[in-house]
């Protein structure tokens, strides 16, 4: 089945659009693909034009985020080519880049790398989507600016840019989603007065349980979230100095998936109804606080950036009562990042820097899973680029060093955690080139070496991980992972067409994975962390064709194959490998220019109507040992979307967007859904819990 579809796509010559716009927040998203190469990315060596990047970079700017529906920011990202998510209901999603995630990728928010409990399956990103203006995704270990853990890539969340001098304004957002009864409210206000700048956000979300036509309302999938952020500082000709304060609070219930043997219904707490917004046991409480000092100074020969940050991550799990948590992780993180970007020096552009972090983690609850530890991380790098004729060459080198000390713990005279210290260090580098064959045709190649030190959970975990329903055992002797990835691609753009292709192959030595031992402790299957060698390869293809200015036909196809070398079929394929995916969209811009409604002062601009499809092919490549994973059948989802900006006497007064997801209420299970492996329904004999059914979303944004 997969070969048949693959042959069809190759014959059509599809490739994936980069989803980039010009820096302006234009309503005409797809028309801006014509000049997408002029868009600027920041994650490689500072400010770089997109068309000069030898490595694959994906941009999602403000207008596309505004038109996208999702319960959280990772939900929106997961629909992009090469990206997916490990989900737990509708409240938690972990980003996956080309089949790799968790501690193999780095997420940046407000200029600092997010540090929480990202090693856990049920731990999502502590990011408020309403405060995000744009997203930049670097695929693969091509960037040397982030060090260990950036093996899969980097996701950079950008806040709203500083307004021009004398400007001030904001917006209010209200959104409702029918399937889970989600209410989303947000307020944004920012301004610039004589160089004194500020940017504030507040948001709140409340969701009851989601539903589908097989499971009904799913107990334990309700959740709540609120977040606040404030930036204040100076923006002058010499540079800027900002202070950023933020807090993120998430309270997700925990889905255990147990069913009544006679009725086949999911167990729910007494008095619980599907439309209840209140907490029910068990549930988690996550609080993430940040304080950041962001500084940039323009010097005679370049720019010096200095970003210092403090993060506190508090994760609690409540199982028996609403006031006392059984599990309580408290993580303190100090990050530092110093970077110097040179001006043009005899045709060279250089960037040099040093960054790292200090961490201290404590166990404050009665139950423990990972040991208390402290960690110090340091890295330094040098990158450069130079243009020679129609070629642009870029590359660099980096050195990282990490010290980790895990604290021992005895319980009733028995060693629970061993006391150990480890030192890790690694050298990484990249070399790439872009050949501008013609003004609208570029060929790209990049070769990069990645590095990742083992996480504390892989080294020292010892206990029942309730979120994954298994007993996990670490190994303090694990070695660092090293990868070598090659990327090749092309892009072609003219007035009517945007055509791109990106191919990659990635070899990872000492790949760390959890394997089932065949034994049990306390009724839980035991998983032990081990190492092997892995190979991943795949591609993203797509096409954006607009035969006339107002009509756009888009297609994308993503594929990744992840194998563990020299292994039998049972353990050959790596867990959590996304299924091949084909997406298509037809978009009609009904009103590209302002159009008055009769003689009324009310007018529309940027109105559009679109129909979309996402086809997930059958996933037969799965980790079979001890039924850790199972095959996932193919399924296709359809959706509709419409939106417009409303003008009153020539001034915008609102943006309105209506979206229908899973239009035909298809019953399905995503291959990366953790709820896919919940208890069997004794009546239907289906395993696990299905994904949400039809969902209608209405969003209103009012500027002021």
Cβ atoms of 457 and 467 within 8 Å: the answer is no
What pLDDT does residue 29 have?
Answer: 30
Pairing label, strands 153-158, 105-109? parallel
Alpha-carbon distance of 20 to 568, in angstroms, equals: 42
| Confidence at 15, pLDDT banded by 50, 70, 90 | very low
| Residue entry with tokens 């642009």 | 392
Residue-wise DSSP of 43-66: BTTBSEEGGG-SS-EEEE-HHHHH
Query: Mean of the pLDDT values across residues 614-632?
Result: 91
For range 181-192, the mean pLDDT = 97
What's the CA gap between 208 and 206, in Å, rounded?
Answer: 7
- Length in residues, the chain: 704
The pLDDT-based confidence of 25 (bands split at 50, 70, 90) is: very low
What was the pLDDT predicted at 157? 94
Do the beta carbons of residue 233 and residue 245 sit within 8 Å? no
What is the rounded distance in angstroms from the CA atom of residue 423 to the CA atom of residue 501? 40
Q: How confident is the model at residue 45 (pLDDT cuts 50, 70, 90)?
A: low
Burial class (CB in 10 A: 0-12, 13-18, 19+), 92: buried
What is the average pLDDT across 202-225?
A: 94
Asked if residues 86 and 121 have their Cβ atoms less than 8 Å apart, the reply is: yes
pLDDT at 457: 92
Percent of the chain with pLDDT over 70: 92
Nearest Cα to Cα of residue 30 among 72, 71, 64: 64
Q: What is the phi/psi pair of residue 549, to 5°?
A: -60, -35
Q: Where does residue 75 fall: left (phi above 0), alpha (psi -120 to 50 degrees), or beta otherwise? A: alpha
What is the average pLDDT across 114-135? 89
Buried b (16+ CB within 10 A) or exposed e, 312-321: bbbbbbbeee
pLDDT value at 405 more than 80: yes
Query: Does pLDDT of 12 surpass 50?
Result: no
Q: Distance (Å, rounded) from C-alpha 689 to C-alpha 257?
A: 7
Model confidence at 47: pLDDT above 80: no
Does residue 549 or residue 368 have the better pLDDT?
368
Q: Where are the domains of the chain?
A: 2-160+167-268+279-703
Query: CB burial class (10 A; 0-12, 13-18, 19+) of residue 490?
Result: middle
Q: Please name every residue paired with 651 in a beta bridge, in sequence order, or none if there are none.
A: 648
Q: How confident is the model at residue 149 (pLDDT cuts 50, 70, 90)?
A: confident
pLDDT at 1: 44
How large is the greatest C-alpha to C-alpha distance in the chain, in angstroms? 85
- The CA distance from 226 to 202, in Å, is 8
Which helix (DSSP H) or strand (DSSP E) does residue 2 occupy?
helix 2-12
Q: Give me the helices (H) in 404-512, please.
A: 456-460
Q: Decide: residue 641, CB within 10 A, 0-12 exposed, 13-18 middle, 19+ buried.
A: buried
Q: Of 15-24, 292-301, 506-515, 674-683, give the lowest mean pLDDT range.
A: 15-24
The H or E element containing residue 291 is strand 283-299
Q: What is the tens place of the pLDDT at every residue in 82-98? A: 999 999 888 889 999 99
Q: Burial level of 456, CB count in 10 A (0-12/13-18/19+)?
A: buried
Q: Rounded to an integer, what distance in angstroms lies between the CA atom of residue 59 and that of residue 361?
A: 34
- For the chain, the distance separating the N- and C-terminal CA atoms, rounded to the nearest angstrom, is 52
Asked if the model's pLDDT at residue 349 lies above 50, the reply is yes
Q: In this structure, which topology does domain 2-160+167-268+279-703 adopt according to CATH?
A: Maltoporin; Chain A (2.40.170)
């Amino acid at each position: 089945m997969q070969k048949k579809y693959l042959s069809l796509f190759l014959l059509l010559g599809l490739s994936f659009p980069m989803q980039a716009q010009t820096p302006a927040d234009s309503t005409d998203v797809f028309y801006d693909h014509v000049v997408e190469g002029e868009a600027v990315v920041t994650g490689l060596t500072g400010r770089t034009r997109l068309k000069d990047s030898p490595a694959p970079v994906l941009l999602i700017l403000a207008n596309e985020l505004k038109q996208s529906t999702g319960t959280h920011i990772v939900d929106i990202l997961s629909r992009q080519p090469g990206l997916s998510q490990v989900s737990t209901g509708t409240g938690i999603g972990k980003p996956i880049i080309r089949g790799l995630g968790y501690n193999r990728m780095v997420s940046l928010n407000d200029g600092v790398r997010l540090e929480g409990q990202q090693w856990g399956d049920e731990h999502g990103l502590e990011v408020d989507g309403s405060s995000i203006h744009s997203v930049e995704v670097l695929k693969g270990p091509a960037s040397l600016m982030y060090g260990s853990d950036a093996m899969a890539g980097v996701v950079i969340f950008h806040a709203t840019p500083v307004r021009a001098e004398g400007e001030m304004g904001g917006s209010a957002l209200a959104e409702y989603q029918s399937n889970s009864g989600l209410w989303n409210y947000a307020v944004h206000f920012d301004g610039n007065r004589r160089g004194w700048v500020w940017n504030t956000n507040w948001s709140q979300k409340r969701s009851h349980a989601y539903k589908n036509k097989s499971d009904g309302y799913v107990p334990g999938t309700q959740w709540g979230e609120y977040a606040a952020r404030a930036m204040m500082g100076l923006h002058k000709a010499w540079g800027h100095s900002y202070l950023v304060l933020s807090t993120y609070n998430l309270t997700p219930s925990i889905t255990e998936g147990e069913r009544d043997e006679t009725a086949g219904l999911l167990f729910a707490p007494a008095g619980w109804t599907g439309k209840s917004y209140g907490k029910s046991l068990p549930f988690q409480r996550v609080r993430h606080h940040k304080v950041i000092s962001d500084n940039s100074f323009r010097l005679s020969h370049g720019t010096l950036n200095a970003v210092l940050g403090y993060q506190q991550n508090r994760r609690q799990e409540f199982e028996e009562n609403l006031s006392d948590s059984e599990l309580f992780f408290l993580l303190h993180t100090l990050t530092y990042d110093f970077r110097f970007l040179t001006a043009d020096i005899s045709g060279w552009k250089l960037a040099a820097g040093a960054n790292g972090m200090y961490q201290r983690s404590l166990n404050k609850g009665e139950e423990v899973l990972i040991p208390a530890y402290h960690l110090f991380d340091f890295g330094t790098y040098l990158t450069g680029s130079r243009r020679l004729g129609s070629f642009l060459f870029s590359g660099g080198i980096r050195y990282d060093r990490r010290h980790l000390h895990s604290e021992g713990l005895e319980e009733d005279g028995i060693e629970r955690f061993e006391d150990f210290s480890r030192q890790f260090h690694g050298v990484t580098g990249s070399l790439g080139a872009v050949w501008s064959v013609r003004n609208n045709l570029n060929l790209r190649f990049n070769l990069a070496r990645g590095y990742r030190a083992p996480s504390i959970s892989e080294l020292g975990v010892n206990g029942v991980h309730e979120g994954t329903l298994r007993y996990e055992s670490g190994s303090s002797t694990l070695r660092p992972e090293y990868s070598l990835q090659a990327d090749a691609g092309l892009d072609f753009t003219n007035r009517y067409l945007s055509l791109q292709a990106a191919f990659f192959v990635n070899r990872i030595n000492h790949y760390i994975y959890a394997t089932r031992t065949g034994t049990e402790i306390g009724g839980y299957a035991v998983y032990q962390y081990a190492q092997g060698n892995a190979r991943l390869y795949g591609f993203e293809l797509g096409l954006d064709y607009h035969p006339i200015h107002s009509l756009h036909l888009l297609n994308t196809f993503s594929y990744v194959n992840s194998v563990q070398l020299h292994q039998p079929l049972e353990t050959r394929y790596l867990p959590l490998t996304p299924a091949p995916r084909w997406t298509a969209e037809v978009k009609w811009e009904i009103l590209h220019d302002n159009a008055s409604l009769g003689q009324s002062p009310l007018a529309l601009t940027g109105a559009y109507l679109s129909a979309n499809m996402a086809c997930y092919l059958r996933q037969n490549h799965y980790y079979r040992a001890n039924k850790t994973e199972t095959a996932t059948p193919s399924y296709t989802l359809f959706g509709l979307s419409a939106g417009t900006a409303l003008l009153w006497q020539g001034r915008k007064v609102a943006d309105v967007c209506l979206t229908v997801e899973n239009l035909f209420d298809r019953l399905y299970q995503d291959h990366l859904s953790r709820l896919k492996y919940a208890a069997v329904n004794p009546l239907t004999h289906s395993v696990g819990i299905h994904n949400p059914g039809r969902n209608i979303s209405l969003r209103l944004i009012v500027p002021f």
